[in-house]
Structure 1
């Protein structure tokens, strides 16, 4: 069966460009911009050939893709790199942030005191020393560590 789809150079370029863009987006997650520029170049060249702006020859396809890929890389590299390097850091609110309980032992910044929450022993830390019997609130969590603040004075 003879498929016209693959005998037309513009169709081949469009299919290859779309395939490369899918690979770049889905598999690589836009981590390499080279495939993005190449895929866009192939699609633009294929569209140019379909519209009759470019001749449908291999030499034209080669030069067009070389030129368009270079122009795209030159113009888009810095903005895309800057977008990729911007990372927002924000504290994550967990299920037990704002949890309150009464301390069984004294707490300080060393993390020597433990508190069992949902069957898991956690180190307790605080910016200021807090004595046993004080009601505290979890204000921040790290791996295996709960940071707490005092809500009231100890009950004796």
Structure 2
């Protein structure tokens, strides 16, 4: 314990880096608490090392409490927005590039199925398509292939 108190600035920086590693590697930015704490520990350790703060545990405690709170206030919303941003763009895949010939008329009145990869897929279309027409899969949902005439 004496070693940590004798080298408080370096100890704070090391513990801050460990908190950041745990936040990123183990938790995957799921919580931001360790991020804010780790950054404040690194900042306070650096300020102590540079001589801007006195090197005692009471200063370290108060500075870290204030810095963690300030960092949380400043970074919470931007990080939350980054975490929640997602793309609504549909991803293409080889699965959607298949085409085949309809074995029966496809319309809203009758359900039509197509066997692909060992699964019976329900076929749907925005417009009626007659039997014998070559169709292409344009969109897929759970158990459903949306097709259009080629």
Say whether the fold is shared (TM-score over 0.5): yes
Q: Distance in 2 between matches of 1:70 and 1:42?
A: 12
1:136 counterpart = 2:138: no
Q: Deviations over 1:67-117 (max 9, x none)?
A: 111111111122222222222112121212132110012223578211112
Q: Which runs of 5+ in 1 are unaligned?
A: 152-156
CA RMSD of aligned residues (A): 2.2
Partner-residue secondary structure (3-state), 2:123? strand
> Structure 1's 46 and 85: CA in aligned 2 closer, same or farther, altered over 3 A?
same
Q: Distance in 2 between matches of 1:5 and 1:111?
A: 76
- Equivalent residue for 1:32? 31
- The count of residues paired between Structure 1 and Structure 2 equals 150
Partner-residue secondary structure (3-state), 1:146? strand
Task: State how 1:66-81 maps to structure 2 within 5 Å.
Answer: 66-81=65-80
> Where is the helix percentage greater, Structure 1 or Structure 2?
2
Task: State how 1:44-63 maps to structure 2 within 5 Å.
Answer: 44-63=43-62
Q: Which runs of 5+ in 2 are unaligned?
A: none
1:89 counterpart = 2:88: yes
Q: Distance in 2 between matches of 1:111 and 1:27?
A: 51
- Equivalent residue for 2:8? 9
Q: Distance in 1 between matches of 2:110 and 2:47?
A: 66
> Structure 1's 47 and 102: CA in aligned 2 closer, same or farther, altered over 3 A?
same
Q: Is the deviation greater in 51-60 or in 84-93?
A: 84-93
- Equivalent residue for 1:154? none
Q: Is the deviation greater in 65-74 or in 91-100?
A: 91-100
Q: Deviations over 1:121-149 (max 9, x none)?
A: 21111111212111101101112211000
Is the 1:110–1:125 Cα contact (8 Å) retained in structure 2?
no
